[in-house]
Structures are given as C-alpha cells and as structure tokens.
Homo-oligomer: A and B are copies of this chain.
C-alpha cells in the first residue's frame, strides 16, 4: 500500500471571512487548500457524503452544521433544514437515509418555547423523512457568543445498490435533470430578513428529496451518473464543481430551467442569478442519454416532482466550464458563486 504524502496547505487568505462559508469559490478554496490536505485521506473529489465499509456492510455518512438566520421563515425553520439537509446529502450520494444524531449549540437566554419549537420541527421533519433520531448533545454558550441556536446533524444511510455515482463516469451526451423550481429557499430567506421593500408569496422548498431519488433509482438507477443537492452557491456552483471534477462542459438551456416568477422577479430586482441561489429541497442529476426520458418520467410521476425538467446536457469542450444558452441564441458562462451575497442561508 502506498500512503500518499499530504500536500502542504496552500491556503493564502489571512483570515476566515463570511465568503468562506458561502459555498462558492472561497469555500472550495478553504476546503481544498486548507482542510482536506491536512484532514482527509483524499485524492477523490469531496462528495456530499462519505461511504465506508464497516463489518462487511457499506454505509454512507454525512454531517452538516446549520446557522440559518432567521431561525424561522416561511415554509420551515432551522430544525427542518437540519434534518432535510443531512437527509438530502445522503440521498444524493445514492443512499437511503436511516438515522440522525442532532447536536445543539444554544445561546444562553434562548426561550424554552423557541427551543421546543425547533425540537418539534426536527421530530416532524424526521418523521416525514422516515429517519430516526438516535442521540445527540447540547451545549450552551454565553449570551453574545452565538446567534440563538446552531444545530449540527450527522446522518447515516445505506447505499442503494442500483446506483454507482461518480463525477468521472459522466460522459458527453448525458442529460441534466433538476427535480423542480430553483431558488425558492434562498429568496425566501432573503425576504424573511426584511429590509428589502419586497414581498412575494413564496416558501422555502425544504424537504427530503429521498422519495424522488428513490423513484429515479428504481426507473433509471443504472443510468444515473452523478447527483448533488444544490444548496449554498446554488445550481451554478454544483455544476461548476462537476465540470471541474469531470473535466467536461455543462451546457444549460435557460428556457428549460424551472424558476418561479416570484424568484425570477426578486432576482432581477436584486441583480442575482437564480442559478446561484440556495435550494433545500431539490437535486440535480446527470443521467445517461438513453435513460433520460425514463428518469424524467419517474420524477414527474412522484409526489413533489411535478415540475422536474431536463435542463441541459454534457459536452466535451470547453472542459471545466458551465455555459447557459440564452433565449436569444447566445450563450453565457456561468461561474461559481463568488463572495457571499446571501450569508447564513442554511
């Protein structure tokens, strides 16, 4: 066995800024240039969940911290996000979510009813996502040393035997499927913070995507090459990561991307691109061309997948690039998220 010599961290930023937590370029630099070289036995691209063999059984495991502000927003709360976020990381790694651990960091002074509301939210989201909460931990810090409540969830699941997901299995001609309208969560949070003279009839999309993934796996499991839930940094960031990891080009068809009018309108006013906005209840999948129709039909026919769409395809060149064909016959390059226009979105 050859043990790889870890590279020296080449992270150059002198301190950690909000952008390092935004899920875009700075986040990737922090993980790839500082954390992974020291911590992970890597070489492989970083996925949403790790798989490991334990006692002859393969399991998937993942963990996420949640620091969303405000704690409650239309369509959900930090407790819902904490369950669904971790459940979705397992789902898009091709695993059936089974059990969760939940830890709380509480700012002293949080009212007990607010905490109770979030515990209820966790219980309700876990029940809907069909996972059990098996344990956790609680810490309290002084007033002013947290923002009311942070939650971390760790999840464990069983890999679905029908799916083998890897960025390097993606091929030119493969199709890109999205499970539903994008940007709902990020714009909902932005509006919930107030301060903008904007209102919209919009709720977060926070939910477990596992039922959709399961339908996809049953109908077209062998044809699914790669999946991701486009949270921080949005669809644009996830697809840029794919384009880079697989050294391919992603070409999107702008007209095919499902975006609610409320999201499109808010983004236009604020100068944001829906492709950069966080989602908490959608996934994107790359599916082999010959499976694409069955895959789409399977998701469309599953409750909550009614607005799924094929939004683009994979090409060979230019490698490591995401392009979007606009309605006017032109195309534009879609970059990863840069900076942090929407801090603490999850």
Contacts and interface: CB of A to CB of B under 8 A. Distances in A.
Interface in A109-156: 109-112, 115-116, 119-120, 122-123, 126, 132-142, 144-147, 150, 152, 154, 156
Interface string A80-107: 0000000000000000001101111111
- Choose among A61, A62, A343 the residue with the greatest number of B CB atoms under 10 Å from its CB: A61
Contact of A57 (B50, B54, B109): B54
Nearest to A150: B105
Interface string A1-19: 0000000010101111111
Interface stretch (A32-40, A185-193, A222-230, A274-282): A32-40
Interface string A29-56: 0110011001111000011011010111
A330 to B, nearest CB: 36
Contacts of A17: 108-109, 140
A63 interface: yes
**How many copies, total?**
2
A140 B133 CA distance: 26
A264 interface: no
A46 B138 contact: no
A24 B46 CA distance: 39
A186 to B, nearest CB: 15
A64 interface: yes
19 contacts: A16-B107, A17-B108, A21-B106, A21-B138, A38-B119, A39-B122, A50-B101, A52-B99, A52-B134, A61-B101, A61-B156, A63-B135, A64-B103, A65-B103, A65-B104, A65-B105, A101-B154, A142-B344, A145-B146
